[in-house]
Amino acid sequence: MRAARLVEHKKPLPVMEVPDPKPGPGDAVLRVEACGICRSDWHAWQGDWSWIGLSPELPITPGHEFGGVVEEVGKDVKNYKRGDRVTVPFHAGCGHCQYCLSGVPNLCENLQIYGLVSGFDGGYAQYVLVKNADFNLIPLPENVDGVTAAAIGCRYMTGYHGVVRGNVKPGDWVAIQGAGGVGLSAVQVAAALGGQVIAVDIDDAKLEKAREEGAVATINAKRENVPEAIKEITKGGAHVGIDALGVRDTVLNSVLSLRKGGRHVQVGLTTSEEGGMVSIPVDMITAMELEFVGSLGNPHPAYRGLLSLVSSGRLNPKTLVNKEVGLEDVSQTFEDMSNFRTKGFHVITKF
């Protein structure tokens, strides 16, 4: 099969022939219909995240946002068969640890992430192996196509779970830092749930897209003091702040923009500049009874609600797909990400 392989950090990804994956007894092989190019893949390409164990040995096939069709299953797989249309959470669970058994496999003790963990190739390829298929595969509704599944695959489901972790209620002011893939996803979801969304970014085109997806106000962080602007718009501060980027400034701007009793949700992982460490105003958090909440992916059981909203048309991840590309275009997309030139999702549909 053809696959785009990460062979050397910050170098173009060659497209090459590699052996087709073969399923073990409990596994499945999917024919990939579409795979998103996520900023998390870009981080792996940069060599980031060694501090959290996500710097895989090279070479590896990236890609953790994919939808496809079951091509082959192992002899012990009971719930899926050849021809079934499916997707997967980017975080594969073992299915038997305390977290998997209690419905939060995104916290699995043996968590594996496609294309970000050594020996766990992802979806920048014609086929991909899904281990523990009965647990990790998610069936797609008939009217949800592969491109939509890829759009949901990481950034959208992560934005969705971040909004859920923020406990957003109708009428709440929700300030979202970063209008990239995760941020725009969170904008769409929070607006659909009745939140009054403020989007923050340094790119006016991305802010305009945020308005199209439901933001009632936007702030360009290059031109305005973000906490002051949010407090002025909201008359006191946001009820919920979501950092969808993960740099020092966005973390602090989110926390400093909250009203008393507000909740900050940290979705974005940091860059090599922060190395996972950001100073936060602890006394302010204490005095104002603020909450600082982490959010990773989207638990497998939560897909039922997410896919129901997508299938019914209340959520539309496909509007965030800006460009469909081929395997040969991955390197250019990474270069564009380095310069913050991408808007919305780029999805591989030509393999």
- Local confidence pLDDT in tens for the 351 residues of the chain: 999 999 999 999 999 999 999 999 999 999 999 999 998 899 889 988 877 777 789 999 999 999 999 999 999 999 999 999 999 999 999 999 999 999 999 999 999 999 999 889 999 999 999 999 999 999 999 999 999 999 998 889 999 999 999 999 999 999 999 999 999 999 999 999 999 999 999 999 999 999 999 999 999 999 999 999 999 999 999 999 999 999 999 999 999 999 999 999 999 988 888 888 999 999 999 999 999 999 999 999 999 999 999 999 999 999 999 899 999 999 999 999 998 888 788 999 999
The CATH class of 167-294 is alpha beta
Contacts of 307 (CB under 8 A, 6+ apart): 138, 140, 141, 144, 152
| Burial (CB count <10 Å: 0-12, 13-18, 19+), residue 143 | exposed
Can you give the pLDDT at residue 218?
98
- Domain residue ranges of the chain, discontinuous segments joined by +: 2-155+298-350, 167-294
Can you give the pLDDT at residue 54?
76
Query: Which amino acid, 148?
Result: T
Can you give the pLDDT at residue 157?
96
> What is the rounded CA–CA span in Å between residue 313 and residue 302?
17
Handedness of CA 321, 186, 315, 94 (dihedral sign): positive
Beta carbons of 52 and 276 less than 8 angstroms apart: yes
Can you give the pLDDT at residue 344?
80
Beta carbons of 136 and 74 less than 8 angstroms apart: no
Give CA angle at 69 (68, 70), nearest 5°: 125
> What is the rounded CA–CA span in Å between residue 19 and residue 162?
37
Q: Please, what's the b/e burial string for 274-299 (b: 16 or more CB within 10 A of its CB; e: otherwise)? A: eeeebebeeeebeeeebebeebbbbb
Can you give the pLDDT at residue 203?
94
Backbone φ and ψ for 200, nearest 5 degrees, come out as: -125, 130
**Of 169, 192, 216, 138, whose CA–CA distance to 313 is shortest?**
192
C-alpha dist (Å) from residue 201 to 58, 120, 317? 33, 33, 20
- Report the CATH number of the 2-155+298-350 domain: 3.90.180.10
Can you give the pLDDT at residue 297?
96
